[in-house]
Structures are given as structure tokens and as C-alpha cells.
């Protein structure tokens, strides 16, 4: 599974509360296997920009890592609703659905 980065590749230590800075922070947390914190950073980004498909995808990727496949699928579906050609979200959604079938979660 993959996680989306910001277009600007803003560093996670960026100052200012922008959706991009929260997305960059979510990426840092994800890379450190701090998945709950990654989700929280994405939710902060979504509080500022609710139609942010990259944040929804990253929530899905983190939920996949936590084994919460139904929640992962829902987040990825929202990312795809907002950006139908978003291949990362499509891949994460497929993974979530496959894992939900095999794990029963």
C-alpha cells in the first residue's frame, strides 16, 4: 500500500496550519509506523479542506496498516469519489477489500 505525498512536498516540520503541512506530517508519522497519529494529521488536513483526496487516501493506507480494513475501504472510496483517477487510492482500496475477505475484518 502506498501513501500520497503533497504536490509541494512540504516538509513535516513546516510551520503553519495548512492542509499540505498536515498531509506532510501524516506521511512522516506513517513512515515511523505511527499510524493513529498519521490518521489524526490527515483529519486535521480534512478539517481545513474536506475535499482533499490525498488525505482520505492516507487515512485508508494507515487503517490498512492497523488491520481496520472496512474503515480503510471507506476512506479510499471517498478519495476515489473526489478523484476518480487516483491510482494510489484504487490500489489501497483493492488491498483493503482483499484483506477484509481473508481476515474477516
pTM: 0.85
Position 105 scores a pLDDT of 59
Spell out the domains of the chain, with CATH numbers in brackets. 19-103 (1.25.40.10)
> What does the alpha-carbon distance between residue 8 and residue 20 come to, in Å, rounded to a whole number?
8
pLDDT of residue 26: 96
Tell me, what's the pLDDT at 7? Answer: 44
Which residues of the chain fall below pLDDT 50? 1, 6-14
Amino acid at each position: 500500500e502506498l501513501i500520497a505525498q503533497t504536490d509541494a512536498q512540504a516538509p513535516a516540520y513546516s510551520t503553519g496550519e495548512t492542509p499540505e503541512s498536515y498531509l506532510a506530517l501524516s506521511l512522516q508519522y506513517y513512515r515511523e509506523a505511527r499510524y493513529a497519529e498519521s490518521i489524526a494529521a490527515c483529519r486535521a488536513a480534512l478539517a481545513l479542506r474536506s475535499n482533499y483526496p490525498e488525505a482520505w487516501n492516507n487515512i485508508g493506507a494507515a487503517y490498512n496498516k492497523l488491520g481496520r480494513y472496512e474503515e480503510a475501504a471507506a476512506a479510499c472510496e471517498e478519495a476515489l469519489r473526489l478523484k476518480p483517477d487516483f491510482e494510489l487510492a484504487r490500489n489501497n482500496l483493492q488491498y483493503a477489500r482483499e484483506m477484509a475477505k481473508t481476515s474477516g475484518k
